[in-house]
Chains A and B, each alone.
Chain A
């Protein structure tokens, strides 16, 4: 009985302070002492955060590729009426956020406003308070000619929704927003690649999502009790299997730290290998996932 009492008291606490160990890798340039210190730190890792590039960041990366604006690839704003559950609304908050970023990338003022209105509507339905929403339609109208301001407003919208759900003990809903935004970002990239002048750079960006997909899957793993996330989880694992065919190698390079400007420049070399068949498989899987998301 004493053991049961011990477990009863400490099991929730053990859960809260459980350590996740990182594999340590003694690189050639690392000294044994540093490796030992790192090993000790790895044992103490209490919390691991996984970040996923925001849709704004994704679309920002595509703008240099040179492609034509195609509104038909976006999730129509009229679809909002289809989304009734919290999960559907959260996922599509992410999807529409990516669409808004795409509109902003192509200076589509009216369309950006339309998508922003949709984001506000969804935020309201999800219960994100007005002040948490942090944007007013008038504010984006006033700033529409200033791309950076628009990007800031979109980022704030995302950040506030993310904060609201995490603060209110609903991090699974915040994860769904990321899931939707990430998927729509890749979907847009695949479509941009078809008309891009610099197609290879877009294909490289798509291939590199292999790295952020790992983070997204790790994030999703943390919500094994959420039905919606678990519904999508196997699909993302299948997508990962497709991405595994993409070869990305990275070699550490020179690191230059400028202490006056407080910036460190990392000059490694990476090599991405992706062929048309891989792209086509990724596209098929993304289309399938997105279809489930936007309904």
Chain B
């Protein structure tokens, strides 16, 4: 029984370590390949990235202020195919989905009032004929700048 526990400990240890390591690589990937795409918006400085798998959903809670424009950029592993992102207001009213714009990974927003919003990122489910579930890096980046008006 001791051997079984030892064996299981090793498996658990390596699975956790490999996930953490993948997470760290994901953040490096974001810094190298995604941040530059926020320009000319100023990055808010918060790295929201994680390794997700097909069928996962991630939410980002954020606040928009008036007099500023915001850019949301969802950077992800291309192996996922088209990743959808949606923006909801605090009343859960759907404000925007990139599904209506060919799954473009970024979009700009401006609001007349300060508002609390939820950005939802939806990773597509695996195909029926697909055997293994794919995992990959997903980063949600937010930039801001003074309103262009």
Q: Which residue of B lies closest to A35 (CB)?
A: B92
Judge whether B137 is part of the interface by a CB distance below 8 angstroms: no
A250, B12: Cβ atoms closer than 8 Å = no
Contacts of B89 in A (CB 8 A): 250, 252, 266, 268
Fill in one digit per residue for A111-148: 1 if any B CB lies within 8 Å of its CB, else 0: 00000000000000000000000000000000000001
Contacts of B92 in A (CB 8 A): 24-27, 30, 38
B115 partner, pick from A8, A61, A214, A270, beta carbons under 8 A = A270
Fill in one digit per residue for A1-31: 1 if any B CB lies within 8 Å of its CB, else 0: 1000100110011001000001011110110
CA of A89 to CA of B43 in the docked complex: distance in angstroms?
A: 23
What number of residue pairs across chains A and B have CB atoms under 8 A from each other?
201
Query: Could you tell me the distance in whole angstroms from the C-beta of B10 to the nearest C-beta in chain A?
Result: 12
Query: Could you tell me the distance in whole angstroms from the C-beta of B90 to the nearest C-beta in chain A?
Result: 6
Given A167-B27, A264-B96: A45 in contact with B20 (beta carbons within 8 A): no
Contacts of A48 in B (CB 8 A): 58-61
| Number of B interface residues in the complex (CB < 8 A) | 70
Contacts of A47 in B (CB 8 A): 50, 52, 56, 58-59
B58, A49: Cβ atoms closer than 8 Å = yes
Fill in one digit per residue for A241-260: 1 if any B CB lies within 8 Å of its CB, else 0: 00000000011110101010
Contacts of A78 in B (CB 8 A): none
A22, B55: Cβ atoms closer than 8 Å = no
Judge whether A74 is part of the interface by a CB distance below 8 angstroms: no
Contacts of B95 in A (CB 8 A): 255, 264, 266
Judge whether A230 is part of the interface by a CB distance below 8 angstroms: no
CA of A148 to CA of B55 in the docked complex: distance in angstroms?
A: 40
Q: Which residue of B lies closest to A212 (CB)?
A: B63
Judge whether B109 is part of the interface by a CB distance below 8 angstroms: yes
B115, A152: Cβ atoms closer than 8 Å = no
Q: Which residue of A lies closest to B138 (CB)?
A: A47
Given A47-B56, A262-B104, A270-B113: A53 in contact with B61 (beta carbons within 8 A): no
Query: Could you tell me the distance in whole angstroms from the C-beta of A217 to the nearest C-beta in chain B?
Result: 11
Judge whether A33 is part of the interface by a CB distance below 8 angstroms: no
Fill in one digit per residue for B96-138: 1 if any A CB lies within 8 Å of its CB, else 0: 1000110010111111111110101010000000000000000
Comparing A157-165, A232-240, A279-287, the segment that makes contact with chain B is A157-165
Judge whether A221 is part of the interface by a CB distance below 8 angstroms: no
Query: For chain A residues 149-173, which have a beta carbon within 8 Å of chain B?
Result: 151-152, 155-156, 158-160, 162-163, 166-169
Fill in one digit per residue for A49-79: 1 if any B CB lies within 8 Å of its CB, else 0: 1111110110011001000000000000000
Contacts of A106 in B (CB 8 A): none
A49, B140: Cβ atoms closer than 8 Å = yes
Fill in one digit per residue for A70-112: 1 if any B CB lies within 8 Å of its CB, else 0: 0000000000000000000000000000000000000000000
Q: Which 10 A-B pairs have the closest CB atoms?
A: A158-B45, A270-B113, A49-B48, A263-B108, A266-B111, A47-B58, A159-B45, A208-B114, A44-B57, A25-B92
Q: 7 A-B contacts, Cβ less than 8 Å apart?
A: A27-B92, A45-B59, A151-B42, A205-B114, A211-B114, A252-B91, A264-B95
